[in-house]
Structure 1
Amino acid sequence: MSGAVARRRSSLLKLAMLAAGLAAAGLLLRGIGLAPGTDWVDRWVLGQGVLGDAVFVAIGAAATAAGAPRQGVAFLGGYAFGAVEGTLLALAAQVVGCAASYGWARAVGRGWAERRLAGRFGHRLRPLRDVLAGSPFGATLALRLLPVGNNLALNLLAGMAAISAVPFLAASALGYLPQTVVFALLGKGIRVDGAWQMGLAAALFVVSAAIGLALLRAHKAGRVIEDDQG
């Protein structure tokens, strides 16, 4: 068995274990009455109508742009609005946040971003930046579908590479969607004690991760990552 195949199998096993943990953790949190990070949602979003929607998108976008996990925004969207509306509003917040950090890196922050990415992992990220420049939509989509990775770092890389905003943001939105649905379902399940929503979230998480790994394997971005790990 080659090293690359072994790494992929190990990654899939870890993803399966993580997905199973989603449902278990959600049930536990609901059972003991803890839903992390929901205080501001309870105060400023729930029951506030359109104003609450705007507050959620604005805060979610700012958090995403600053590097907060986009999955957390999706979780809170599901908690506040339910699976469907929560997915749409969380996705809007994620894309706005993505556009903000991408635009900042491209317009005024390229020097700062270069310094930030020139540290310990900079030598790993530079080849990936070149791949993004060569195939902005395909590389971005493959990377966004993975359940791991640094959302902010990818935004900065894209901005520094000055790739076209349209394919980058379109691929980001499409790639964000599966995990946004997953975590919105999880957030809704915790709020309404919906065990089936959490089970469905875990299953969808495995499916979306497997698709992301398959796309990454076929794409040059995957070969860059494997070369770095080899």
Structure 2
Amino acid sequence: MRDQGLTGEALFLLAGAAAAAAGLPRQGVAFLGGYAFGAVLGTVLGLAAQVLGCALAYAWARLVGRDWAERRLAGRFGRRLRPVRDVLAESPFGATLALRLLPVGNNLALNLLAGLAGIAALPFLAASALGYLPQTIVFALLGKGVRVDGLWQLGLAGLLLLASLGIGLVLLRRARAGRAMAES
């Protein structure tokens, strides 16, 4: 795909979106984007593929797979996700942003949960794109750094990952504190 111009970029975008929509790690899409297209274009294409994959999974859960998703989210697993759903419903943009900034959790489960719960698409997708950006840059830099002597890119990737973790934890604590205050 690297040397195929717009055709290669379009193929990467479609393959990356399909992979992200199917639940493969979005960081892998960004890494491969950086490896194939360099840090800047790899970030742009990786982010676009991730957001498109997020939108596809969200739309599938909301429009087509609601019954399937309800069965998958029922039971013990679903009871654990109910608080996440409630926080998303209260603050779709803020809660989504906090969850996306943290490199833990299941991207596909959050996409399906948001679609199932009927979370508004625009704030969910906008916060997802913004929350994906730091890790996308990190992994595109890592991908680019693997291809060429990129020690500075690997160091910058590590610093950005730490910053993303810190911001995500602060946002998550604020969301929890706001929810605790609302409940009391």
TM-score, length-normalised on structure 2?
0.94
Q: Output aligned runs, 1:1-230, within 5 Å.
A: 45-220=1-176
For 2:23 and 2:6, how far apart are their aligned partners in 1?
A: 26
Number of paired residues? 180
Deviations 1:10-68 (A, max 9, x none): xxxxxxxxxxxxxxxxxxxxxxxxxxxxxxxxxxx111000000000000000000000
In 2, are the aligned partners of 1:139 and 1:220 still within 8 Å (CA)?
Answer: no
Contact 1:98–1:155, Cα closer than 8 Å, also in 2: yes
CA separation of 1:59 and 1:138: change in aligned 2, threshold 3 A: same
AA of the residue aligned to 1:140:
T
Query: After TM superposition, what 4+ stretches of structure 1 lie above 6 angstroms from structure 2?
Result: 221-224
Q: Does structure 2 conserve the Cα–Cα contact (< 8 Å) formed by 1:131 and 1:221?
A: no
Distance across 2 between alignment mates of 1:222 and 1:204: 27
Q: Which amino acid aligns with 1:105?
A: A
TM-superposed CA distance for 1:118, in Å, is 2.2
Alignment partners' CA distance in 2, 1:192 and 1:105: 40
Aligned-partner residue type, residue 204 of structure 1: L
Query: Do the aligned partners of 1:74 and 1:181 also contact (CA within 8 Å) in 2?
Result: yes
What is the SS of the residue equivalent to 1:219? helix
The Cα shift of 1:117 comes to: 1.9
Q: Write out per-residue CA displacement over residues 200-230 of structure 1, whole angstroms, 9 at most, x where no aligned residue.
A: 1111101111110010000139969xxxxxx
Identity %: 76
CA distance in 1: counterparts of 2:177 and 2:104, whole angstroms: 14
- TM-aligned CA distance change 1:222 to 1:205, over 3 Å: farther
Whichever residue aligns with residue 188 of structure 1, its letter is K
Distance 1:94 1:183 in 2: 13
Return the index of the structure with the highest Cα Rg: 1
Unaligned 5+ segments in structure 1 are 1-44, 225-230
Q: What SS does the aligned partner of 2:153 have?
A: helix
Residue 188 of structure 1, CA deviation: 0.2
Offset of residue 96 of structure 1: 0.3
- The range that moved more, 173-182 or 123-132, is 123-132
Distance in 1 of aligned mates of 2:8 and 2:137: 20
1:199 Cα deviation after fit: 1.2
Cα drift, residue 193 of structure 1: 2.6
5+ residue gaps, structure 2? none
Normalising by structure 1, we get a TM-score of: 0.75
